[in-house]
């Protein structure tokens, strides 16, 4: 079985990011995939201090925080799904903190062969997501992660994503793409 880890970067549990994640999970083959949803706001993630210790020796981050648990979850995953609301054309702050702390993976190459996708609800939809998508794509490329695809949705208030039928349909298509990867 392949493992999917979904990082929920919204401060709201049961918000649009999680709804999109749950929609994706509905379409995945339970005999082929196991999954885990992680709420990033439940972890203390400190900002990268650019100490550069992760560039030497064992190539691990020395900061003592929730990333120690998250690193093991990342290492054990085959597919990483980032579900984050769009704030000022980028991911939520906690999602960006997570991505900034991927620095050790640039040197240790532990993400080579992993795959990733994005679930991005935004107040005005797709047009607000382009910069965020590009940031993730470039990061994935630098980390040797294969980018699968993204789904963006027009969703501001809790539950608005249910009104974006196109996004819900694309979520099902994303699940099919993920299934074809394995």
CA distance 151 to 173: 9
Instruction: Tell me what pLDDT residue 130 has.
Output: 87
Token digits for 54? 């992760």
Residue 181 has pLDDT above 90, yes or no: no
- Write out the residue range of the structural domain in which residue 113 sits: 2-181
Mean confidence (pLDDT) of the chain: 92
Instruction: Tell me what pLDDT residue 83 has.
Output: 97
Contacts of residue 173, defined as CB under 8 A and 6 or more positions apart, other chains included, come to none
CA distance 147 to 157: 28
| Residue with the larger pLDDT of the pair 31 and 3 | 3
CA distance 43 to 176: 30
Q: Predicted confidence band at 154 (pLDDT cuts at 50, 70, 90)?
A: confident
Return the percentage of the chain with pLDDT > 70, whole number.
100
* Selection from 6, 179, 9, 3 nearest residue 92 by Cα: 9
Q: Predicted confidence band at 118 (pLDDT cuts at 50, 70, 90)?
A: very high
Tell me the CATH number at 61.
Answer: 3.40.50.360
User: What is the total count of domains within the chain?
Assistant: 1
User: In the predicted model, what is the mean pLDDT of residues 73-97?
Assistant: 95
């Amino acid at each position: 079985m392949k493992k999917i880890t979904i990082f929920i970067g919204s401060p709201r549990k049961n918000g649009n990011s999680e709804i999109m994640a749950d929609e994706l999970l509905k379409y995945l083959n339970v005999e082929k995939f196991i999954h885990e949803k992680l709420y990033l706001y439940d972890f203390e993630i400190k900002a990268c201090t650019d100490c550069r210790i992760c560039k030497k020796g064992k190539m691990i981050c020395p900061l003592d925080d929730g990333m120690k648990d998250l690193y093991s979850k990342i290492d054990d995953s085959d597919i990483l799904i980032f579900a984050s609301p769009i704030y000022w054309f980028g991911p939520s702050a906690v999602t960006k903190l997570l991505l900034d702390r991927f620095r050790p993976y640039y040197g240790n190459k532990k993400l080579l062969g992993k795959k990733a996708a994005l679930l991005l609800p935004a107040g005005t939809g797709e047009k607000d997501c382009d910069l965020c998508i590009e940031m993730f794509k470039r990061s994935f490329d630098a980390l040797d992660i294969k980018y699968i695809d993204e789904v963006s949705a027009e969703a501001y208030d809790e539950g608005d994503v249910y009104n974006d039928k196109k996004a819900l349909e694309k979520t099902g298509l994303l699940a099919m793409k993920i299934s074809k990867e394995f």
